[in-house]
Amino acid sequence: MTLTSPAIRPVKPLGEDFRQSVRNALRKSAAARGLDGVLLLSPANVFYACGFNFSVNERPIGLYVPVDGEPKLFVPLLELENAEPVQGVQLGIYEEFPGLVHPVVWMVCQSKASRIAIDMLDARQMAPLKTLIDEVMLEDLAAPLRFVKTAEELELTRIAATYADLCLSRLHAEAGNVISQGGTELDLLADSTGFALAALKRAYGAAFAGTKLGISASVHSGPRAALPHGSTSSRQPQLGDTLISGIGCSLGGYHAESGTTLIIGDITSEQRRVMVAMDQCNDAAVSALKPGARCQDVNDAALEALKAADLGNAIRHRIGHGMGLEGHEAPWLAPGDMTEVLPNMVFSNEPGVYRPGRDGYRTINTMLVHADHVEIPSRFLADTPIDQRVIAL
């Protein structure tokens, strides 16, 4: 079977106009709270507000956005040359970590703020900061901005979903050959991800150099499929097994997911029953995901479909999570999240059935919320009905 790569779309990394709009929104949020500015320490938030993509390690990197004045990007000396091309910011350089003064304490001093919001903070830094400034507000002011995507962010998500699908299509097409030759879960993973990643890089690698671009995936089969976070192993899938594969793809830093459960050989009546219930769970989540709904209620409505199929005891996790600059991010389609669903939010849809020692099932779609419908840019499940989700040996 010959697989065709998705058509290349005319997109480019988000530019300085986007970053400036984010910083302006942060200034507005800070001013409304009577603050002098916002210090972002989360790597995803730093990238969101200024576009600096960096290798995360123990050395803190921060972006201070004042209500008035120029934003300042704080980096360790070893990142100086990497940070110099970042537009719209001044640079503040510290020598090394941990330093005589902790870099985050140094950043706050450099900001000259009296009242500041910080998105994340080591508890050990709270005491020294309280002696230096009047107010430290531990609140992620970037999070609610990231919940709702722009048209440009949604387009990157759509494209990422097509390459997650391509990875699944490769797995579906080649798994029989790989397994018949003695191949393992690891071999299946290497073949499918290698194929999709090569296609992604051919299409967008040059234009998106320096941004987060890649494929992450898992493949696990048989009784190991009953582990929701089962690792890919050297096990050779066997006739009659369920085989779960979940694929994540990122383009320009924006994530999408697609995932399926395949059956090795013929589908039994019990396997079909579970797979039908999974599709019903998926559909229930889509139906419930309307602007104005609460995230918790979407989760409840979706999982009720599994409970109605007498599979309630096999549920191990929520129906979904937000996606954007992180593969898993708020808001959560889960108990306890009362966030109101809004147009242009992005969520995963992940029905899961796990029966330890026996088998496991999971499917994944990416959902984009619109005012009057839910868009599903991941198409593998829709294009591959249950009867076709098989691997012939």
Topology at the third CATH level for domain 148-391: Creatine Amidinohydrolase (3.90.230)
Topology at the third CATH level for domain 16-145: Creatine Amidinohydrolase; Chain A, domain 1 (3.40.350)
For residue 14, CA distances in Å to 17, 347, 381 come to: 8, 21, 30
- Per-residue confidence (pLDDT) for residue 230, from 0 to 100: 83
- Per-residue confidence (pLDDT) for residue 179, from 0 to 100: 97
Q: What backbone torsions phi and psi does residue 163 show, to the nearest 5 degrees?
A: -80, -30
Cα 56 from chain centroid? 17
CA-based end-to-end distance of the chain? 15
Contacts of 151 (CB under 8 A, 6+ apart): none
* Domain range summary for the chain, segments of one domain joined by +: 16-145, 148-391
List the chain pLDDT tens, one digit each, 393 residues.
678 889 999 999 999 999 999 999 999 999 999 999 999 999 999 999 999 999 999 999 999 999 999 999 999 999 999 999 999 999 999 999 999 999 999 999 999 999 999 999 999 999 999 899 999 999 999 999 999 999 999 999 999 999 999 999 999 999 999 999 999 999 999 999 999 999 999 999 999 998 889 999 999 999 999 999 888 999 999 999 999 999 999 999 999 999 999 999 999 999 999 999 999 999 999 999 999 999 999 999 999 999 999 999 999 999 999 999 999 999 999 999 999 999 999 999 999 999 999 999 999 999 999 999 999 999 999 999 999 999 999
- Per-residue confidence (pLDDT) for residue 1, from 0 to 100: 61
Say how far apart CA 207 and CA 328 lie, in whole Å.
Answer: 25
Same fold, 16-145 and 148-391: no
Cβ atoms of residues 227 and 30 within 8 Å: no
Say how far apart CA 74 and CA 76 lie, in whole Å.
Answer: 7
Look at the pTM and tell me if it is higher than 0.75. yes
